[in-house]
């Protein structure tokens, strides 16, 4: 084989096998991390749906993606898979009335912190999704996670019924929804429900409504249906050659 032929084969091999390597090197990863704990003023008046009696501080952490602050969070995060996790959002809400006009140099605080919804975070794509859990109420629902399941006491839209709820990520309908009690908020003890407890084998969950006996339910384990994207940027198609 001539030297010229060998050179042509080497160039062809680089073109064929080098393209996937170049594409893989061009993929950009996303840096997702949680910042240090920060304490902010907090009160029942500022967050009537979330603050416990006598609670004066809320521990928050920044959720940062690629060096940019995306959200403030509170509480512990839960790893759903090796690349996705859930964490509760912390909201900074404008508490100023339309007529409030603090004077120059005034330190009058017109912002309040509130516990918000749960977020699903993908470490690979950097994508953040606000979760809509069935019958979730921030005042009542103490969410306890196991795998991709969330167990909590839920409250109907009318506020008159307390439910035991198990929700699975990416599933629209709850896996479990059982009525625990009729509810009269004025006469019912606080908190309305303690945190649920999970059992692995067999898979069961126990709820603790206030003033009532604990109730346990079996949960039929199923495969996770959470779809995690590859994170690869879609390729831009080459422009079509002009017709001749």
How many CB atoms are closer than 10 A to CB 152? 26
**CA 25-30-36 angle, 5° bins:** 145
Closest CA to 150 of 115, 189, 125, 119: 119
- In this predicted structure, the answer to whether residue 21 has a pLDDT above a threshold of 50 is no
pLDDT given at position 57: 95
Cα–Cα distance for residue pair 34/65, rounded to 1 Å: 9
Mean pLDDT of 112-141: 93
Cα–Cα distance for residue pair 114/139, rounded to 1 Å: 11
In this structure, what are the phi and psi dihedrals at residue 79, rounded to the nearest 5 degrees? -75, 120
pTM flag (> 0.85):
no
> What does the DSSP 8-state code read for residue 14?
H
Half-sphere CA count of 119, side-chain side, radius 13 A: 23
Cα–Cα distance for residue pair 133/86, rounded to 1 Å: 12
End-to-end CA distance of the chain: 39
- What's the pLDDT tens digit per position in 57-103? 999 999 999 999 999 999 999 999 999 999 999 999 988 888 777 65
- Domain locations in the chain? 29-96+108-131, 132-223
Cα–Cα distance for residue pair 108/110, rounded to 1 Å: 6
């Amino acid at each position: 084989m001539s030297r010229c032929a060998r050179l042509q084969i080497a160039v062809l091999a680089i073109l064929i096998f080098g393209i996937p390597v170049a594409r893989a090197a061009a993929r950009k990863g996303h840096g997702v991390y949680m910042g240090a704990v920060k304490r902010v003023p907090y009160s029942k008046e500022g967050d009537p749906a979330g603050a416990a009696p006598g609670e004066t501080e809320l521990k928050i952490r920044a959720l940062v993606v690629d060096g940019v602050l995306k959200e403030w969070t509170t509480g512990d995060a839960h790893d759903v898979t090796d690349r996705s996790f859930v964490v509760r959002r912390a909201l900074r809400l404008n508490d100023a009335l339309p007529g409030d006009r603090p004077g120059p140099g005034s330190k009058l605080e017109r912002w309040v912190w509130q516990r918000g919804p749960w977020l699903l975070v993908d470490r690979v794509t950097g994508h953040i999704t606000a979760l809509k859990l069935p019958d979730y109420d921030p005042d009542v629902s103490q969410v306890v996670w196991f795998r991709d399941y969330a167990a909590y006491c839920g409250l109907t839209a009318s506020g008159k019924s307390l439910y035991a709820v198990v929700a699975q990520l990416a599933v629209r309908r709850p896996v479990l929804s059982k009525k625990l009690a009729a509810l009269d908020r004025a006469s019912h003890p606080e908190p309305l429900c303690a945190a649920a407890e999970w059992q692995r084998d067999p898979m069961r969950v126990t709820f603790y409504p206030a003033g009532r006996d604990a109730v346990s339910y079996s949960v039929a384990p199923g495969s996770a249906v959470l779809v995690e994207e590859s994170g690869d940027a879609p390729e831009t198609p080459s422009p079509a050659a002009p017709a001749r």
